[in-house]
């Protein structure tokens, strides 16, 4: 008799954004005359930067010629993209990251989800609350948690991000082995200072732990004092893995390209105390289970780092940040406390009521989709996340509707 991985039965029936999509589809089907504006999932709406499109076309033409055609590429990514990332995303910020420490992939969601499988199943986990649900769900699937009791899985040390700590959790007194951090934060939009990140690096060192640092939204940082990478912090090479994505930086959600940095100096241990290279483990996993990102897509991603690409991607993130400012101002006028939206494309609104009730109210009365805070964890209750990813026209229209619905 074929048996299932029973850890899956501990999960909520569906993934947060799948659940929301189902509810929105049901609403749209029942109300075909009421067009819905989506400020829920962080999916970009603006076209790819011209430099990326040009590179994509040129690479596609290469694939049409025998002399330039490419079959399987290196699983870890082509040298031209790994080198561009090392130079522009790291060396330019004073971080020492070598091209062969960069693993190109088809998305940070997959990398954040997959990384846990190279670590022990009985390790001590620390995960923020509220949080991007992938970090929690993938550890539940792997059997690292007990059942969900009152909205929390047994076996996870939850790092609460609340108004009281400015939505940046302080290092806990208890020890953890694997710690997830995300800055600029999804869902709150909060950013961490150099001092706060330094405390996490020191904590990881003291506990021989690893930080999994998701910086998918770093391109939205405008405050020059805020680090873009964990490797801007002294000693982070020995304790941190970083995830980056071109999805929100350059509109690649449908194009698919991201990368994960695993420094060669990063170590983890077996039960007998033997030391292992995490880079070697991830390389083993990546080469066994992944066949690389399409050549034209990697060429398009490399174009982000050209002079034209840099100007165009900056304009793209500026555009969404201007949407975020409109949302922040509108929420303020309506009297809702909020954070985020200044160094991140998400605004975290204190709704003062049940978050799914707020979601339903926004959908029914304003035909605007947001993301209920409770979907990100217990601390998200009473909050909603509003995404700045949409056209200016749709954001403006949504804000007029929200004002009418909530006044």
Which parts of this chain interact with ligand MLT (CB under 6 A)?
41-43, 109, 132, 186
Nearest distance, CB of residue 112 and ligand MLT, angstroms: 9
Residue number, nearest CB to ligand MLT: 42
Beta strands in 221-362 (DSSP E): 240-245, 258-261, 267-269, 275-277, 338-340, 346-350
| Rg over CA atoms, the chain | 21
- Closest contact distance (angstroms) between CB of 39 and ligand MLT is 10
As measured in angstroms, the least distance from the Cβ of 388 to ligand MLT is: 11
State the minimum distance, in angstroms, from the CB of residue 25 to ligand MLT. Answer: 17
* Least distance (Å) between residue 238 CB and ligand MLT: 28
CA distance 231 to 235: 8
- The span from the CA of 341 to the CA of 346, in Å, is 5
Nearer to ligand MLT, 266 or 344 (CB): 344
Tell me how far apart the alpha carbons of residues 330 and 401 are, in angstroms, rounded to a whole number: 11
Minimum CB–partner distance for residue 42 and ligand MLT (Å) = 3
Cβ-based nearer residue to ligand MLT, 22 or 208:
22
Q: Which is nearer to ligand MLT, 109 or 279 (CB)?
A: 109
Please, is 115 exposed, middle or buried when counting C-beta atoms within 10 Å of its C-beta (0-12, 13-18, 19+)?
Answer: buried
Rank residues 42 and 340 by Cβ distance to ligand MLT and give the closer one: 42
CB of 383 within 8 A of CB of 350? yes
CA distances from 393 to 37, 323, 342, 398 (A): 10, 10, 20, 8
Least distance between ligand MLT and beta carbon 32 (Å): 26
Which C-beta is closer to ligand MLT: that of 176 or that of 212?
212
Token pair belonging to 99: 């091209």
Helix, coil or strand: residue 105: strand
Nearer to ligand MLT by Cβ, of 138 and 279: the residue is: 138
Instruction: Using the CB atoms, write b or e for 274-285: b if 16+ within 10 Å.
Output: eeebbbebbbee
Nearer to ligand MLT, 127 or 204 (CB): 127
DSSP, collapsed to helix, strand or coil, labels residue 336 as: coil
């Amino acid at each position: 008799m074929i048996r299932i991985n029973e850890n899956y039965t501990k999960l909520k029936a569906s993934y947060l954004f799948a659940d929301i999509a189902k509810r929105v589809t049901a609403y749209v089907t029942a109300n075909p005359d009421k067009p819905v504006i989506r400020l829920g999932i962080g999916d970009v709406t603006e076209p790819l930067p011209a430099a990326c499109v040009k590179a994509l076309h040129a690479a596609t033409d290469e694939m049409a010629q025998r002399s330039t055609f490419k079959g399987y590429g290196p699983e870890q990514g082509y040298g031209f993209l790994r080198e561009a990332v090392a130079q522009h995303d790291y060396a330019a910020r004073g971080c020492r990251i070598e091209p062969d420490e960069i693993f190109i992939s088809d998305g940070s969601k997959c990398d954040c989800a997959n990384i846990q499988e190279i670590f022990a199943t009985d390790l001590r986990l620390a995960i923020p609350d509220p949080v991007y649900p992938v970090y929690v769900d993938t550890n539940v699937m792997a059997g690292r948690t007990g059942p969900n009791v009152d909205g929390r899985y047994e076996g996870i040390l939850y790092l609460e991000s609340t108004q009281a700590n400015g939505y940046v959790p302080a290092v806990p007194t208890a020890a953890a082995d694997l710690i997830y951090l995300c800055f600029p934060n999804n869902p709150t939009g909060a950013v961490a200072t150099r001092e706060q990140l330094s405390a996490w690096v020191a904590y990881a060192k003291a506990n021989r732990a690893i930080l999994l640092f998701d910086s998918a939204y770093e391109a939205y940082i405008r405050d020059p004092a805020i680090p873009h990478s964990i490797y801007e912090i002294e000693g982070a090479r020995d304790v941190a893995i970083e995830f980056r994505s071109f999805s929100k930086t350059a509109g690649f959600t449908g194009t698919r390209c991201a990368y994960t940095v695993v420094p060669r100096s990063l170590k983890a241990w077996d039960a007998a105390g033997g030391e292992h290279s995490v880079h070697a483990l991830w390389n083993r996993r990546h080469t066994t289970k992944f066949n690389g990102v399409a050549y034209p897509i990697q060429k398009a991603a490399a174009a982000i780092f050209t002079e034209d690409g840099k100007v165009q991607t900056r304009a793209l993130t500026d555009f969404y940040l201007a949407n975020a400012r409109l949302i922040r101002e509108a929420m303020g006028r309506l009297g809702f406390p909020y954070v985020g939206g200044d160094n991140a494309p998400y605004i975290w609104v204190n709704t003062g009521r049940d978050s799914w009730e707020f979601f339903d109210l926004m959908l029914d009365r304003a035909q605007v989709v947001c993301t209920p805070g409770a979907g990100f964890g217990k601390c998200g209750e009473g909050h909603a996340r509003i995404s700045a990813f949409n056209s200016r026209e749709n954001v403006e229209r949504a804000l007029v509707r929200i004002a009418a619905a909530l006044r």
